[in-house]
Structure 1
Amino acid sequence: MRFVGAIVVLLVCSASVGVMVAPGGNNGSSNEANAHPPDPSSDVIGWENGYWYNESIDVNQRDGLSDAELKAYKGRAMARVEFIRREEFTRSVNVQSLSRSEYRDLVRRRSANEYTPPQRAWENQVWEGLFVTGERADAARQQTKLYQRRVAGFYLPGEDRVYVISDGKRRIDNATLIHELAHAMQDQHVDLSSSEFESKTMDAQRAHDGLTEGEAMYVEQRYTNRCGKSWQCVPKPDVGPSGSPYSGGTLPNYNLGMQVATIQPYSDGPAYVASLFDSGGWDAVTKRYRNPPESSAAVVHPEERTGPPAPLRLGEQARNGWKLYGKRGENGSQTVGETGIYTMFWYQGRAEGNPVIDWRTFTDPDKGKFDMFNYTSAPSDGWANDRLWPYHRGKQRGYVWRTKWETKRDATEFRRAYRDLLRGRNATRVGPNTWRIGAGPFADAFRIDRHGRTVTIVNGPTVGDLNDVRPATNTRKQTRLARIR
């Protein structure tokens, strides 16, 4: 899900833990600050556009930034990114503020171009498969709304241009500026628009974002840790701490399940990059760009040696008019990954009162000071691969979701948790491995088959449709057992 095209964004995560909460600037005295240190004879790390990383500047954003203030603000911020990252900018970067209304209009236009009717229908079924949006919902519209409301800034690869969303008065959050400048530096050195970072599935995109967003968040956090201590930082007026929507209470006015799935790279990415840094410094981080992670599981579990996802195929067998949506995603399928599966179970507890997992542990990070949220649970751990194939027959919808697990025990835990999810949706068992939800936004039939380390879920409007979407491997035996029962 990257409907904003080649844009690298910073999503507001509404965190309320540790250093992840950017203080919005601090006007305290700097132990290192100098009023006007002399310029170097040549460009060096920590000096950019006439400003040193530890230079004090006179900038007040109360009435918006003047051109001179923006020049000083940007120059010192670039120098600080250089100082933290130990890397040089090779070109200057343009920084521009954009009002929220202007940004919303930009996202709306891009979304309208991206989502054709077939793409919208395909996207709907993926999120329906995760029990995040119901059958009649418009998942594409909900994603658009999420980005319109929760993005703080973005960078355009190849254009050396950073946009920070503001209140219309050209007031720029200091941590957001650092984050987006870190993306600009990445782009100048590794080319974020290259084919290495093209992803056909949402899980592959989260994996790549775990590296790119993880590094930008890691740089941002190391910056915020210095604000008010060793560095003077430009404050942004009228910025208070954001509340956390994850612990309970009224749901926010955007889709919280989509938010949780989307911010995983921002949460686990910094810890992933920190583990690389601890193993070999910035050289180890730079080297990883030549071989970026291939799954969100690799970012969720940086302490483990996570190889590429296990091969997983379907073998087309649909009949009686059921067909795929062409080649969207990976040959018609989407991979939601360990993050998507965790989100599915988490969202049932938070939004539906169906605690398949202990969803409240989400706000208890488990990977040290650079981790924001906890994306681990028994039924999502042990993921080896998954592919979800949406099908349609006229206006009817169905899907086949095949998952692969590291062990048979992992597969059994996932199957058990999925059945608990269905029970929480008032599903009734209507045959061997077959369930039906009779009413509501997820009213459908479901078949759950486990063979060794593989669990396959088939969905269709009725029980009779299941064998058309995906014929059972032992239909005759299952029919006989159903009659006996």
Structure 2
Amino acid sequence: MRLVGVVVVLLVCAAPVVAMVAPGGNHGNSSAAETHPPDPSSDVIGWENGYWYNESIDVNQRDGLSDAELKAYVGRAMARVEFIRDEEFTRSVDVEPLSREEYRNLVRQQAARSNTPPQRAWENQVWEGLFVTGERADAARQQTRLYQQRVAGFYVPGEDRIYVISHGQRRIDNATLVHELTHAIQDQHVDLSSSELESKTMDGRRADDGLTEGEAMYVEKRYTNRCGKSWQCVAKPDVGPKRTPYGGGPLPSYNLAMQVALIQPYSDGPAYVASRFDSGEWKAVTEEYRNPPESSKAVIHPETRTDGPERLRLGEQARSGWKLYGKRGVNGSQTVGETGIYTMFWYQGRAEGNPIIRWRQFQNPDEGKFDLFNYSSTPSDGWANDRLWPYHKGDKRGYVWRTKWETPRDATEFRRAYRDLLRGRNATRVGPDTWRIEDGPFADAFRIDRHGRTVTIVNGPTVGDLDDIRPNSKPSTNRKMRFSRIR
């Protein structure tokens, strides 16, 4: 069973909810809920399984949902998704509560099947490259723990089935239900399992999610904005997880950097979808599935959608026994994207006390937009592409991370910020553009080489390994060498 369309618990204080007018059409009056409007003679938008979108229902889930209450709750929610989305469900959708413990076991089983030792090692080096997990950490296990703790629900494509994580008694949050029902109606009309939405890279998946999760969040926001105003909504006792401590304080038990990277489509996706809706309503949104965004950059900056990422090649291969991890990712490489680079710099300020960017602005997105968080910063803006190639030689690990930028200035800003990151890790300069971190979870050698719009970072256990991992990457020798701690 493939899990997609997960609702990650964002839990941000004072999240902006922007008032929007629901799409037009002859679907009834939304100004007040009616008790039992007459059923239509045929299935119409805004009516589903015997319930109108503006119908009052007698549901109280303080002591859990009965079967009759669940039927009414889901039926009316489906009608409301139809009304907002201006589209008809073609099949019924099953909604099943799942206990947190059952869900944890399900995620654990899936992780055990997919996270082979080589896959774990490859994944570790990607997150190590972002200074999120140290070389001896288990990044795959940390991602599993994050999903186990922070997911509120998910939809299974092709099965018309939704699972909502329940805490003890059978209770379902309004927003979670509407979010997952939006994935169901997406799947019935555009097929969420299509190859167009199956990227092989981390950044490509965030781009796909920027569309699918962005639409679900957009519908969810338009729904919640009506609750308590024009619509009666079912109340749910607050039994959810604690709020995420983005702004400071002790770090949570799950990996906070992975959480920030994971939720970017949920944050910026709604604004992306809203920009498409403003240009041509729901028809324009549906058209996006024929040509979905290719990078998280396109979702972060919906007002300036550009062509796809520029081409990047590795060139000469490593020597002296250093090898890639087969065909994982794209020919052994991963693309972390603008989101990954932003997360790397954000996490240094939040977790390490090294404020390379204004990390506290993360919870202050631009006014007037649908996004929840701010993923824009000087050293991550201007991204044009990146590829990170993990290498191994026995128990030794290294990588080559090549980034491309829109302008030479963007490349210089990234290189400067990356040097600030190394400085925060007590790196010492040991040669031209070459540094060494002596101890700690990121103890390694690093070389930073910039040519025009391209910045290449080479990582290895020792300075001597750098030349084997990335031959012919030595910086120009006509520079005067300085040996000092980064300032």
Work out whether residues 154 and 180 of structure 2, in 8 Å CA contact, stay in contact via their aligned partners in 1.
yes
CA–CA separation in structure 2 for the residues paired with 1:321 and 1:239? 54
CA–CA separation in structure 1 for the residues paired with 2:462 and 2:452? 27
CA–CA separation in structure 1 for the residues paired with 2:431 and 2:418? 16
Counterpart residue number, 1:91: 91
**Residue 169 (structure 1) shift:** 1.3
Stretches of 4+ aligned residues off by more than 4 angstroms: 239-242, 479-485
Counterpart residue number, 2:365: 365
Counterpart residue number, 1:26: none
**Residue 472 (structure 1) shift:** 3.2
Work out whether residues 257 and 344 of structure 2, in 8 Å CA contact, stay in contact via their aligned partners in 1.
yes
CA–CA separation in structure 2 for the residues paired with 1:72 and 1:320? 66
Work out whether residues 16 and 242 of structure 1, in 8 Å CA contact, stay in contact via their aligned partners in 2.
no
SS in structure 2 at match of 1:18: coil
Q: Following superposition of structure 1 onto structure 2, how do residues 315-464 of structure 1 map, counting pairs within 5 Å?
A: 315-366=315-366, 368-464=368-464
Greater shift, 63-72 or 116-125, is seen at 63-72
**Residue 6 (structure 1) shift:** 4.3
Counterpart residue number, 1:181: 181
CA–CA separation in structure 2 for the residues paired with 1:277 and 1:426? 48
Counterpart residue number, 2:275: 275
**Residue 14 (structure 1) shift:** 1.9
TM-score, normalization by structure 1: 0.95
**Residue 90 (structure 1) shift:** 0.3
SS in structure 2 at match of 1:96: strand
Counterpart residue number, 2:38: 38
SS in structure 2 at match of 1:266: helix
User: 1:144-181, CA deviations, whole angstroms, 9 ceiling, x for partnerless residues?
Assistant: 00000000000000000001001131111111000000
In the alignment, structure 1 residue 255 sits paired with structure 2 residue 252:
no
Equivalent residue letter for 1:203: D
Work out whether residues 178 and 220 of structure 1, in 8 Å CA contact, stay in contact via their aligned partners in 2.
yes
Counterpart residue number, 2:477: 478
Counterpart residue number, 1:122: 122
CA–CA separation in structure 2 for the residues paired with 1:337 and 1:240? 31
User: 1:443-465, CA deviations, whole angstroms, 9 ceiling, x for partnerless residues?
Assistant: 00000000000000000000000
User: Which of 3, 8, 11 is matched with 2:5 structurally?
Assistant: 8
CA–CA separation in structure 2 for the residues paired with 1:178 and 1:323? 47
SS in structure 1 at match of 2:412: helix
Q: Following superposition of structure 1 onto structure 2, how do residues 182-201 of structure 1 map, counting pairs within 5 Å?
A: 182-201=182-201
User: What stretches of structure 2 of length at least 5 have no aligned partner?
Assistant: 19-29
**Residue 368 (structure 1) shift:** 2.3
Greater shift, 233-242 or 194-203, is seen at 233-242
CA–CA separation in structure 1 for the residues paired with 2:198 and 2:293? 13
SS in structure 1 at match of 2:314: coil
Counterpart residue number, 2:15: 18
CA–CA separation in structure 1 for the residues paired with 2:479 and 2:354? 33
Work out whether residues 11 and 150 of structure 1, in 8 Å CA contact, stay in contact via their aligned partners in 2.
yes
Counterpart residue number, 2:309: 309
Equivalent pairs: percent with the same residue?
Answer: 79
SS in structure 2 at match of 1:389: strand
CA–CA separation in structure 2 for the residues paired with 1:332 and 1:308? 20
**Residue 7 (structure 1) shift:** 2.2
SS in structure 1 at match of 2:350: helix
SS in structure 1 at match of 2:127: helix
Equivalent residue letter for 1:7: V
Equivalent residue letter for 2:261: A
User: What stretches of structure 1 of length at least 5 have no aligned partner?
Assistant: 22-29
CA–CA separation in structure 2 for the residues paired with 1:168 and 1:361? 37
Q: Following superposition of structure 1 onto structure 2, how do residues 199-238 of structure 1 map, counting pairs within 5 Å?
A: 199-238=199-238
CA–CA separation in structure 1 for the residues paired with 2:338 and 2:474? 29
CA–CA separation in structure 1 for the residues paired with 2:66 and 2:262? 35
SS in structure 2 at match of 1:361: helix
Work out whether residues 213 and 265 of structure 1, in 8 Å CA contact, stay in contact via their aligned partners in 2.
yes
TM-score, normalization by structure 2: 0.94
Q: What value does the CA root-mean-square deviation take over the aligned residues? A: 1.8
SS in structure 1 at match of 2:172: coil
Q: Following superposition of structure 1 onto structure 2, how do residues 99-138 of structure 1 map, counting pairs within 5 Å?
A: 99-138=99-138
CA–CA separation in structure 1 for the residues paired with 2:268 and 2:369? 11
Aligned residues: 473
User: 1:344-382, CA deviations, whole angstroms, 9 ceiling, x for partnerless residues?
Assistant: 000000000001111001011126241100000000000
CA–CA separation in structure 1 for the residues paired with 2:108 and 2:35? 44
Counterpart residue number, 1:296: 296
Greater shift, 361-370 or 460-469, is seen at 361-370
SS in structure 2 at match of 1:200: coil
**Residue 484 (structure 1) shift:** 10
CA–CA separation in structure 2 for the residues paired with 1:90 and 1:19? 33
**Residue 305 (structure 1) shift:** 2.7
SS in structure 2 at match of 1:228: coil
Counterpart residue number, 1:71: 71
SS in structure 1 at match of 2:477: helix
Work out whether residues 211 and 272 of structure 2, in 8 Å CA contact, stay in contact via their aligned partners in 1.
yes
Equivalent residue letter for 1:255: N
CA–CA separation in structure 1 for the residues paired with 2:428 and 2:2? 42
Greater shift, 240-249 or 352-361, is seen at 240-249
